[in-house]
């Protein structure tokens, strides 16, 4: 059997189920009746099913929205990393051309060419 209900009507039914479960739970304190325990279990299952049905309505928070949000977050992270790369000191060092004449404020250690053969190289002896 299918019944079309609004979200408000489902919430009212869930509230009524919760109230009935509380009433039945209060009667259990005076004795353990297996029939009452079964009724409580069935009502809890029904309330859970109704809660899931209300929660699964397509209100923009479904699986597609999660995937879309995940993709947006991933893309935002990629863009942020690219921005950081572009404005980092490492980017400046990568862009620095050591052969250009424009750079004149190098230290003595930076001016030293490690590939130059020293004058007192043992190979020349």
**pLDDT, tens digit, 9 for 90 and up, residues 94-123:** 666 554 555 567 788 887 777 788 778 788
For the entire predicted model, the pTM comes to: 0.42
Tally of CA atoms within 13 A in the half-sphere of 45 that contains its CB: 6
> What was the pLDDT predicted at 64?
59
CA separation for the pair 43, 85 (Å, rounded): 58
- Helical H segments across 2-123, by residue range: 7-28, 34-55, 63-87, 89-95, 108-111
Q: Same structural domain for residues 68 and 88?
A: yes
Which pair of structure tokens corresponds to residue 12?
């009212």
Q: Same structural domain for residues 53 and 87?
A: no
Q: Which domain holds residue 45?
A: 1-57
Average pLDDT along the chain: 78
Asked whether the beta carbons of 73 and 43 are under 8 A apart, the reply is no
Q: Same structural domain for residues 53 and 64?
A: no
CA separation for the pair 14, 72 (Å, rounded): 36
Q: Same structural domain for residues 25 and 66?
A: no
């Amino acid at each position: 059997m299918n019944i079309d209900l609004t979200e408000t009507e489902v919430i009212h039914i869930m509230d009524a189920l919760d109230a009935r479960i509380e009433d039945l739970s209060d009667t259990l304190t005076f004795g353990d009746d297996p029939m009452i325990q079964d009724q409580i279990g069935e009502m809890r299952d029904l309330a859970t099913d109704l809660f899931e049905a209300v929660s699964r309505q397509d209100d923009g928070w479904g699986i597609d929205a999660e995937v879309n949000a995940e993709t947006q977050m991933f893309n935002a992270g990629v863009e942020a990393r690219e921005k950081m790369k572009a404005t980092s000191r490492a980017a400046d060092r990568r862009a620095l051309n050591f052969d250009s004449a424009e750079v004149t404020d190098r230290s003595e250690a930076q001016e030293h060419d490690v590939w130059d053969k020293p004058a007192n190289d043992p190979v020349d002896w």
